[in-house]
Amino acid sequence: MKNILQQLSEGKSLSSEEIMQASGQLFSNEITDSEIAAFLIGLKMKGETAEEIAGLTAAFRERSLKISKRIPSIMDNCGTGGDGVKSFNISTTSAFVIAGAGIPVAKHGNRSISSKTGSADVLEHLGIDLTLPPEATEEILEKVGIVFLFAPYFHPQLKRIMKVRKDLRIPTVFNLIGPLTNPVDLETQLLGIYRRDMVVLFAEVLKKLGRKRAIVINGAGYMDEASLQGENYLAILENGMITEKVLHPEEFGLPIYANDSIRGGDAKENAEILLKVLKGERGAYRETVLLNAGIGIYTAGKADSIQKGLELAKESIDSGAALHKLEQLITASRSHQKQVI
C-alpha cells in the first residue's frame, strides 16, 4: 500500500492491475484505518479515473454475496444520493413503475446516508424484508420481476471501509460507487449522480463494467435524479458509444415544478407518497416519477424513445401494474419470512 499511496500523492493514476492490488489490500486486516483514509483522500485529490472506479467496483463485487441466476434484460435504477434536495424516494417509486412495464428490476440500495430516508427505510416500512438470502432473492426476482438488495447485507466486508468513510466526513469515491456495486450482473442501468462533472466519466465506468445500455443523469438543481425544474444532463451509453444530451421536461409536455415541490420526509411519509403515486394521485410527485421511469424504460430498451417510455410509465401506473408489483413483492417477502420462522 505504501507504493500505491506514494503514487497517488504524486498525482499519478493507477493502472488496472494496481487498482485491483490496492482494492484487495483494503479488505486486509493488515491495513490500518489511516491507510484506508489516505487511499481515499489520495484518489480524491488526484481525481478518480474510469479505470480506477471500475477496478474498485469489480473488487467489491467479487467479495459480495452472489446472485448467480441470470435473468435476461435485468436493470437497476439508482442514484448516488448526496444532492441535498431532500426529495422523496424517486428511484424506489420509479422502480415499481419500470417493473410494471415488464422490465425485471434488481433494486440495489441502502438506508439513509446523506438524505433523510433511504430506499431501505421506505421498503422496510412497507413490510419488505431487507435480509433475504441470495437464493430467496433470486426466486423473488424470477417470479415477481422486482427485488430489493440491501447493500450492507450483500456487501458484509465493506463494513470497516464504510466506517472510515463516515469518519472522514468529506465526500470520496465511496459516496458515488454504491449504485455500481449491485451484485447482480446487470445488462442495463439508469444511474443518477449529483456531480455534473462526472456524468460522462460514470458512463465510461458503466461501459467498462459491461453494461449494454445505460444512462447517467444529473438533474436540474444538481439532483441525482431527473428533475422537472429545468434542464437535465444525460450521458447515454449504447452500442459501445457515449453521447451527451440535454433534456427539458417541456419537450415531453410535462409541467415545470421546482425541486422544493417534491420534498420528502421520514420513512412513513415517503412510503405514503410512494403509495399515492402508484395509486394514481396526480401532482409533482407523479410527474417526477413518470419522467424518471420513462427514462428508465427507454434505458432498458423497452421503448424506442423517452417519449414512448413516458407513455409506458403512465400505462404502468394507470393500469395498476406498478402497484401490483409492490403488492407482489411485499407478499413474497412475508412468505419467505414465515419460512425462516
Q: Distance of CA 29 to CAs 1, 21, 33, 34, 268, Å? A: 13, 15, 10, 13, 39
**All three cell numbers of 87:** 426529495
55 annotated as ligand-binding: no
Q: Is 33 annotated as a binding residue?
A: no
Residue 74 in marked binding region: no
91 is in an annotated binding site: yes
**Rounded alpha-carbon distances, angstroms, from residue 156 to 32, 64, 134, 164, 308:** 18, 7, 13, 15, 40
114 labelled binding-site residue: yes
Q: Is 9 annotated as a binding residue?
A: no
129 is in an annotated binding site: no
Distance CA 253, CA 62 (A): 44
Residue 228's SS3 state is coil
The annotation status of 119 as a binding-site residue, yes or no, is yes
Q: Is 79 annotated as belonging to a binding site?
A: yes
The type of residue at 302 is K
Q: Is 296 annotated as a binding residue?
A: no
* Interatomic CA distance for residues 16 and 36, integer angstroms: 19
> Is 98 annotated to bind ligand?
no
181 annotated among ligand-binding-site residues: no
User: Does the annotation flag 160 for ligand binding?
Assistant: no
333 is in an annotated binding site: no
Helices (H), the chain: 2-9, 16-26, 33-46, 50-62, 90-100, 119-125, 134-144, 151-154, 159-168, 199-208, 267-278, 284-299, 306-318, 321-340
CB-side exposure of 286: number of CA atoms within 13 Å?
A: 15
DSSP codes, 252-301: GTPPP--GGGGB--SHHHHHHHHHHHHTT--SHHHHHHHHHHHHHHHHTT
Judge whether 181 and 155 are in contact, CB under 8 Å.
Answer: yes
Is 82 annotated as belonging to a binding site? yes
Flag whether 110 is marked binding: yes
Q: Is 225 annotated as a binding residue?
A: yes
What residues are designated binding site for 5-phospho-alpha-D-ribose 1-diphosphate? 79, 82-83, 87, 89-92, 107-115, 119
What residues are designated binding site? 79, 82-83, 87, 89-92, 107-115, 119, 165, 224-225
What residues are designated binding site for anthranilate? 79, 110, 165
What residues are designated binding site for Mg(2+)? 91, 224-225
